[in-house]
Amino acid sequence: MTLSGHKKARMGGARLRIGVAFSTLAIVVFGAVGLLSARDARQQSEQDTKLALAQLAQRLAQRLDADMAARFRDIDQLANLQEQLDLDPDPARWRTLLERLQQSSRHHSWIGVADVDGRVLAATGGLLESANVKQRPWFSRGLRQTTVGDVHDAKLLASLLPSQTPGEPLRFVDVSAPLRLRGKTVGVIGAHLSWAWAEERRREALAGNAAHRGLEILLVNREGAIELGPRAPALPGAPKVSLQALLRGAQRLVWSDGRSYLSAASASSPLSDYPGMGWVVVVRQPQELALAKAIALERRLIWLSVVGAALFGALGWFLADRLTRPLRRVAAQAQGMLPATNEAPPHDEVDQLARTLASLLADLKQREQDLTSLNEGLETRVQERTASLRRANDDLRAFSRSVSHDIQGPLGSMAQLLRQTVDKDGSALPPQASEVMQLVAQECERLKQLSAELLTLAMVEQSEIAVEPVDHGALARDVVAQLSMGASHAFPAIEIGNLPTLPGDAVMLRQVWSNLLSNAVKFTSKVPAPRIEVSAEARDGEVVFTVADNGAGFDEAQSDRLFGVFQRLHRASQFPGTGVGLSIVRRVVLRHGGRVWAQSPPGQGARFHFCLPERFDDGVADHHPPPKALTSATV
């Protein structure tokens, strides 16, 4: 790959896709969380503000109604005193009573009593006494029942009383009640409650909620006109309709100045005998001020989302680089395994790796086909060689059996003839000739024994194993009995321990015991107190048999040669033998799935061990086909 190709691969590929995926996921997740959280916070803040405004409007409306209800009851109770006063023509007496009532509530600007013709009999401060108020609304309503009138500008008293609100005209709320004597209306008592009282309550409410910036409280009449508070902006559209909408619940409302306000309203309500007023308390706050904290929180959440998305995207890019680094390295190595071509490599590491793997798979399939063809040829040649080798082995085994068998007869005959000649005519022969004939006879016997053991070895190699329970104790004792009958010297003391019964071929295993015990007898023949011990020990699923003697022993450095064919560690003049017996032992034990080894501590004789498995496995025996019959032979 060229340098520019490497640069393009770095710019694109799996790392870029994973990084972009991480960044996109971060933007989507953090953006969604930020926007949803900001929206929820803003909506919750708006709901909380609306609720607070509605509660403020309700509390102020209840406070105004409570004050008006108290004034209403004052006038009503005073009207009930007329029977005691009996409409005394003395104005001073009424004036004293009215002024006491005025002192109990400083917002009473004027209280007066008029007869049924509208002439004022007595009034606080003596104002309007003897004046005719028959045309005033409070008088005409008061003739019928105790009533409360709407707020209005002062008429007759405008020039007599100062305004309690600088810059504002003197305004009143009227309360009037009929004076009855024995069921007949004889006059009207009326009171002018200063509208400054409502302004005072409004300011108290504003002072208690100074934390709400831009908060405004208005008193609006039935038609939606503002009676108290800032006159602008006014209710939008049809004021009465907008007012009815506010009374149904706090809401966001665009007023006449085009700005959006969070607005709430609460109407005056009757209290007991007090009928209530027609006004409505309206509370409003500019939306941008009411939601200033929510908007600030919204912006913080958006910025946090942006920062979180950026950090998460950077982390994603870093992880993408770390995760795809092994992939890029493998892709580069795989790309280097392809033969050089003019085709531009893909920019994506996955595509590079996929193309390389596809090419390698195609190459592997081609090689597999080549190997299959080669294997087929090799199998044919191996089969041919195996068949040829099997024929050669069969011929060699047949030859060895034939030679061993055919040699035994002539050798035996020669040895017997020589011994008879020496025994019969030995005195007539020269001494040297007699000695030579004795030696030749001995060699014939040795060759006969050797051919017999070679025949036995050939049979062990080829014989099939006939598995049956084998009592090793009985086998060892039987072999010892046979050896003791043919002994020509002092027979050693043989101690046979508790030997188990194991599965195996009884004929082959008898040969093992025969060769090992005859060896022990032979190599203890020159010690003064010969002793042989036979024992067995179970170890990890197998049994280790030991034949230990106190005989001549051997050099442990040469122990590897003991079990080879024709291998001897002693001279024939010391201990006669052919060197084949232990190789027969080794082959029988191996065919039973066991092992054989020997030890000879200095001055302690020899110990021959072999182990056999407690459970016989047909797979451990090699499948050379030998005959069943075996002949005994000593080492």
> What is the 3-class SS of 10-46, one letter each residue?
HHCHHHHHHHHHHHHHHHHHHHHHHHHHHHHHHHHHH
Helix (H) or strand (E) holding 450: helix 431-462
pLDDT category of residue 424 using cuts at 50, 70 and 90:
low
Could you give the CA distance from residue 3 to residue 9 in angstroms, rounded to a whole number? 10
Could you give the CA distance from residue 363 to residue 354 in angstroms, rounded to a whole number? 14
| DSSP assignment letter at 486 | T
Could you give the CA distance from residue 14 to residue 492 in angstroms, rounded to a whole number? 86
pLDDT category of residue 627 using cuts at 50, 70 and 90:
very low
With H, G, I as helix, E, B as strand and everything else as coil, classify residue 443: helix
Please report, to the nearest 10 degrees, the dihedral formed by the alpha carbons of residues 133, 136, 142, 144 taken in order.
110
Could you give the CA distance from residue 499 to residue 513 in angstroms, rounded to a whole number? 12
Could you give the CA distance from residue 518 to residue 524 in angstroms, rounded to a whole number? 10
pLDDT given for residue 417 in this prediction: 61
Could you give the CA distance from residue 56 to residue 216 in angstroms, rounded to a whole number? 11
Could you give the CA distance from residue 234 to residue 236 in angstroms, rounded to a whole number? 6
> Which tops the pLDDT comparison, 201 or 461?
201
Compute and round to an integer the Cα radius of gyration of the chain. 67
pLDDT digits (tens, 9 = 90+) for 195-223: 888 888 888 888 887 667 889 999 998 88
Could you give the CA distance from residue 416 to residue 92 in angstroms, rounded to a whole number? 188
Write b or e for each residue in 22-39: b if 16 or more Cβ atoms lie within 10 A of its Cβ, otherwise e: bbeebbeebeeebeebbe
Mean of pLDDT values over 515-544: 86
With H, G, I as helix, E, B as strand and everything else as coil, classify residue 395: helix
- Strand pairing category for 595-599 and 606-613: antiparallel
| DSSP assignment letter at 146 | -
Verdict on whether the full-model pTM lies above 0.85: no
- Beta carbons within 10 angstroms of residue 523's beta carbon: 25
pLDDT category of residue 628 using cuts at 50, 70 and 90:
very low
Could you give the CA distance from residue 630 to residue 264 in angstroms, rounded to a whole number? 122
Going from N- to C-terminal start, the domains of the chain cover 46-289, 378-463, 467-613
pLDDT digits (tens, 9 = 90+) for 318-349: 777 776 677 667 766 666 666 666 666 565 66
List of long-range contacts for 40-43, beta carbons under 8 Å, 24+ apart: 41/294, 41/297, 41/298, 41/301, 42/291, 42/294, 42/295, 42/297, 42/298
In CATH, which superfamily holds the domain spanning 467-613?
Answer: Histidine kinase-like ATPase, C-terminal domain (3.30.565.10)
Could you give the CA distance from residue 295 to residue 41 in angstroms, rounded to a whole number? 9
With H, G, I as helix, E, B as strand and everything else as coil, classify residue 627: coil
Residue 86 φ/ψ region, left for φ over 0, alpha for ψ in the -120 to 50 degree band, beta for the rest: left
pLDDT category of residue 418 using cuts at 50, 70 and 90:
low
CB neighbour list of residue 620: distance below 8 Å, 6 or more residues apart: 591, 592, 593, 613
pLDDT digits (tens, 9 = 90+) for 551-595: 877 767 666 666 655 455 544 444 455 556 777 888 888 888 899
Is residue 4 pLDDT above 50, yes or no?
no
Contact 312, 304 (CB under 8 A): no
CA 3 vs CA 6, 9, 16, 322: distances in Å:
5, 10, 19, 22
The C-alpha angle 167, 107, 116, rounded to 5 degrees, equals 110
**CATH number of this structure's domain 46-289:** 3.30.450.20
**How is residue 186 written in tokens?**
């004889």
